[in-house]
Amino acid sequence: MTPAAVRLGVLGWPVAHSRSPAMHNAAFAAAGLTGWRYQRLPVPPQLLGETVRGLPAVGFLGANVTIPHKAAALALADTATEAAREIGAANTLSFVEDGAIEADNTDGPGLVDLLGADVRGRRALVLGAGGSARAAVWALMRAGAADVAIWNRTAERAGELASAFGARAVKAPEPADVLVNCTSVGLVEAEPPVPENPDSDAGSLGDPDIRLERSATQGCALNHLGLTFDQVGGYAHVIDLVYRPGTTPLLAAARAHDARTLDGLSILVAQGALSFERWTGLPAPRGEMERAARSEQSD
Ligand code: NAP
């Protein structure tokens, strides 16, 4: 009799863009885990609870969780790791034998693995105040950053995130050693221009001190981050969580200034490797995972 497949997947809405299935299926093959399968699980928010509770009965060992379900996934779990509790979100669920759901967050620890020594004692600036920014701020603080500043288009959210983690909210992007983009800016090919501020020659993002770049080809996207092409040159290490085919405007600008860069696929692999290790108890074949994530061009 053929043994039943061990199933895993990624819960999201939408989730068609996810490269996690290619990455994890390549990892299972490389680790000799025949019969292990990883699939997309497109689930709307109102069906998340009943879907998650039904997954173990149809052979699921666990699941990754992506937008918009990470906070809800933590709430429906029976137990949670310290990382998931402190970040306030889960990206990895494991279904254990007594029927309990365990929540973990590998986004934050994955970033610590990637950035650790590079961040200790350094000044960091996080752009964004959504779910991934929470994980990034947690990771930077864990990795020993000397100062973590947060800028967000909606300033109140930067303030809330800063108070939750003992970081600093800033009105405009400040100089730092490490810049981490946790907004979705750069996800689409061309960003629309930032609306002009009629009271300022420079235009603004709600702050007249933010100068807009109109000459650089990809200036529009940088402007949405409160930056100009020249200002990007002030950051020695630039990390962009966004991944898409080709490069993002922020990483293109950073590379033009010879900054060290890390792209969203490296971050995807770092968190995926920790999820793999949690589910399988085996060391993750990171090289295979990275190759598979980078060769998947479906989105
Ligand atoms: P989220 O919770 O929806 O937060 C989105 C953030 O982007 C908010 O801070 C939002 O600002 C900002 N934003 C959106 N459009 C903007 C614009 N036009 N101008 C300026 N700011 C804008 O999303 P998330 O979960 O944090 O994810 C953010 C990005 O990271 C997504 O592209 C996601 O795909 C990527 N990501 C990648 C990985 C990885 O493994 N590589 C993991 C997680 C997330 P407001 O508060 O003002 O709306």
The residue whose CA has the least distance to atom 12 of ligand 1 is 183
Q: Indicate the pTM of the whole model.
A: 0.90
Domain hosting residue 11, numbered range = 6-105+268-298
State whether 116 and 73 are in the same domain. Answer: no
185-238 residue pLDDT tens:
988 766 655 555 545 444 444 444 444 444 334 557 898 999 999 999 999 999
Written as one string, the DSSP assignment of the chain is -PPPPEEEEEEESS-TT--HHHHHHHHHHHTT-TTEEEEEEE--GGGHHHHHHHTGGGTB-EEEE-TT-HHHHHHH-SEE-HHHHHHT--SEEEE-TTS-EEEE--HHHHHHHHHHHHHTT-EEEEE--SHHHHHHHHHHHHTT-SEEEEE-SSHHHHHHHHHHHT-EE-SS----SEEEE-SSTTSSSSPPPPPP-TT-SS--SS-TTSPPP-SSTTHHHHHHTT--HHHHTT-SEEEE----SS--HHHHHHHHTT-EEE-HHHHHHHHHHHHHHHHHSS---HHHHHHHHHH----
In a domain, 1, yes or no: no
State whether 168 and 211 are in the same domain. Answer: yes
State whether 143 and 286 are in the same domain. Answer: no
Q: Specify the CATH number for the domain of residue 98.
A: 3.40.50.10860
In a domain, 125, yes or no: yes
State whether 113 and 252 are in the same domain. Answer: yes
State whether 12 and 147 are in the same domain. Answer: no
In a domain, 134, yes or no: yes
In a domain, 195, yes or no: yes
Q: For the chain, give the percent of residues with pLDDT over 70.
A: 87
Domain count for the chain, please give it. 2
State whether 150 and 286 are in the same domain. Answer: no
Centre of ligand 1 from the C-alpha of residue 158, in Å = 13
State whether 114 and 214 are in the same domain. Answer: yes
> Is 70 one of the catalytic residues?
yes
Exactly one of 24, 70, 211, 237 is catalytic; name it.
70
The residue whose CA has the least distance to atom 22 of ligand 1 is 183
The residue whose CA has the least distance to atom 43 of ligand 1 is 132
- Ligand 1 closest atom vs CA 67: 25
State whether 241 and 287 are in the same domain. Answer: no
State whether 121 and 201 are in the same domain. Answer: yes
State whether 210 and 236 are in the same domain. Answer: yes
- Rounded to the nearest integer, the mean pLDDT of the chain is 90
Q: Specify the CATH number for the domain of residue 193.
A: 3.40.50.720
Instruction: Using most ligand atoms within 8 A of CB, pick from 11, 106, 111, 132 the residue to mutate for ligand 1.
Output: 132
Q: Measuring from each residue's beta carbon to the nearest atom of ligand 1, which residues come in under 6 Å?
A: 67, 107, 128-133, 152-154, 157, 182-185, 187, 224, 241-243, 264, 267-268, 271
26-68 residue pLDDT tens:
999 999 999 999 999 999 999 999 999 999 999 999 999 999 9
State whether 219 and 89 are in the same domain. Answer: no
State whether 100 and 113 are in the same domain. Answer: no
Distances (CA, A) of 104 to 1, 14, 109, 141, 260: 34, 21, 10, 18, 30
